[in-house]
C-alpha cells in the first residue's frame, strides 16, 4: 500500500461486516489507526478475530442516541481527535408500498438518517481541521427500484445532509462526501426481508442491468473510501462518488 492515511485516526460505523469491514482493512493497510463499531455480538467478535491489532472494535448501536453520545465521549478521552469519519452503518428492508410496514420505515429512518446525523453532530468537536467525513448513500437514491421507496428516501435524505454539512464545515477545511454503491455482495442482502431465492434473483437481475455486467465487491467500495479520505481528493467536497458499475450513470 501507499500509506495515504498514515497516522490518521479513522472511525467507521457499521464496520464489522461488508463494506465497513473491507474499508477498515484498507484504511489500516494505508497506515490509519482504525476504530470500528457494530451492535451484533457475533459480528463484533468475528471482526475482532479478523482485524486483530489492525483495528479497535467497539460495541455501539449507530441508531441509539445515548450510545452515540457515549461513543464520542469515549473517543475524546482515548484518541482526542478524528481525521476520518465514515458513517457507514445502515439497514435495508425491501417491500412493495402496499405491503411495507411503518415499523420497517421507522427502523430505516432511525439507523440510516437520524443515526448518521447524530453521529456527525457529536463528532464535530473531535474532527481535526482538514478532516474527512464520508457517508454511505446508495444507488437507490437515484434509481426508482421496485420495493425500495422507503429505503431510497433515507438515502436521499443522507445525500442532502452531505451537501449541508459540506457547506457548514468548509471553514474548518473539513471535506464531506458521499459514496454511492450499487449492488454489492455483502451480508445486508440477507437482511432485506427477501427469501434467499428472491435475494439471489434480485442480484442476478441487477447484474443484467449494470453496464459492467456484474455485482460489485465490498473492497471496490473500500478503495473509493480510501481515495476520498486521502489527500488525493483534497479539492472534492459535497460530492457523491458512484461505485455502481455505471448503473445510475448511463
**pLDDT tens per residue across span 138-170:** 999 999 888 899 999 999 999 999 999 999 999
Q: Mind listing the pLDDT tens digit for each residue in 163-175? A: 999 999 999 999 9
As for how many domains the chain has, the answer is 1
Beta partners for residue 242, in sequence order? 180
- pTM to 2 decimal places: 0.94
- Asked if residue 4 belongs to a domain, the reply is no
Is 217 a domain residue? yes
Confidence of residue 188 (pLDDT cuts 50, 70, 90): low
Kindly tell me if the per-residue pLDDT of 33 is higher than 80.
yes
* CATH number for 230: 3.40.50.720
Is the pLDDT at 226 greater than 80? The verdict is yes
Domain assignment present for residue 2? The answer is: no
Does the residue 126 lie in any domain?
yes
**Residue-by-residue DSSP string for 123-182:** HTTTEEEEEEEEEE--GGGTS--TT-HHHHHHHHHHHHHHHHHHHHHGGGT-EEEEEEE-
pLDDT classification of 9: cutoffs 50, 70, 90: very high
Residue 148 domain-assigned? Answer: yes
* Those residues with Cβ within 8 angstroms of residue 217's Cβ, 6 or more apart along the chain or in another chain: 22, 184, 185
Look at residue 3 and tell me if it is in a domain.
no
Q: Is residue 250, in this structure, part of any structural domain at all?
A: no
Using pLDDT thresholds of 50, 70 and 90, give the confidence band for residue 195. Answer: low
**For residue 1, is it within any domain?**
no
pLDDT of residue 206: 82
| Active site members | 151
**Distance between CA atoms of residues 4 and 78, nearest Å:** 23
Contact 245, 216 (CB under 8 A): yes
Share of the chain above pLDDT 70, in %: 96
Write out the residue range of the structural domain in which residue 178 sits.
9-243
pLDDT for position 88? 98
- Residue written as cell 432511525? 110
Helix (H) or strand (E) segment spanning residue 70: helix 65-78
* Alpha-carbon span 62 to 14, nearest angstrom: 7
Q: How far apart are the first and last CA of the chain?
A: 32
Amino acid at each position: 500500500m501507499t500509506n495515504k492515511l498514515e497516522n490518521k485516526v479513522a472511525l467507521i460505523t457499521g464496520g464489522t461486516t461488508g463494506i465497513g469491514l473491507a474499508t477498515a482493512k484498507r484504511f489500516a493497510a494505508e497506515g490509519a489507526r482504525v476504530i470500528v463499531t457494530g451492535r451484533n455480538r457475533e459480528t463484533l467478535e468475528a471482526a475482532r478475530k479478523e482485524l486483530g491489532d489492525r483495528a479497535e472494535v467497539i460495541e455501539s448501536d449507530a441508531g441509539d442516541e445515548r450510545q452515540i453520545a457515549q461513543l464520542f465521549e469515549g473517543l475524546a478521552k482515548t484518541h482526542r481527535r478524528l481525521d476520518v469519519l465514515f458513517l457507514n452503518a445502515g439497514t435495508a428492508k425491501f417491500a412493495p408500498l402496499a405491503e411495507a410496514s411503518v415499523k420497517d420505515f421507522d427502523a430505516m429512518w432511525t439507523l440510516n438518517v437520524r443515526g448518521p446525523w447524530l453521529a456527525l453532530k457529536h463528532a464535530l468537536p473531535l474532527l481535526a481541521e482538514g478532516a474527512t467525513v464520508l457517508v454511505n448513500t446508495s444507488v437507490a437514491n437515484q434509481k426508482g427500484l421496485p420495493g425500495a421507496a422507503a429505503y431510497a428516501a433515507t438515502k436521499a435524505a443522507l445525500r442532502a445532509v452531505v451537501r449541508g454539512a459540506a457547506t457548514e464545515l468548509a471553514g474548518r477545511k473539513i471535506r464531506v462526501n458521499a459514496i454511492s454503491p450499487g449492488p454489492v455482495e455483502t451480508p445486508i442482502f440477507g437482511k432485506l426481508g427477501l427469501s434467499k431465492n428472491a435475494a439471489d434473483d434480485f442480484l442476478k437481475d441487477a447484474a443484467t442491468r449494470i453496464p459492467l455486467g456484474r455485482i460489485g465487491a465490498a473492497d471496490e467500495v473500500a478503495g473509493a473510501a480510501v481515495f476520498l479520505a486521502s489527500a488525493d481528493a483534497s479539492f472534492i467536497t459535497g460530492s457523491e462518488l458512484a461505485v455502481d458499475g455505471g448503473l445510475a450513470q448511463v
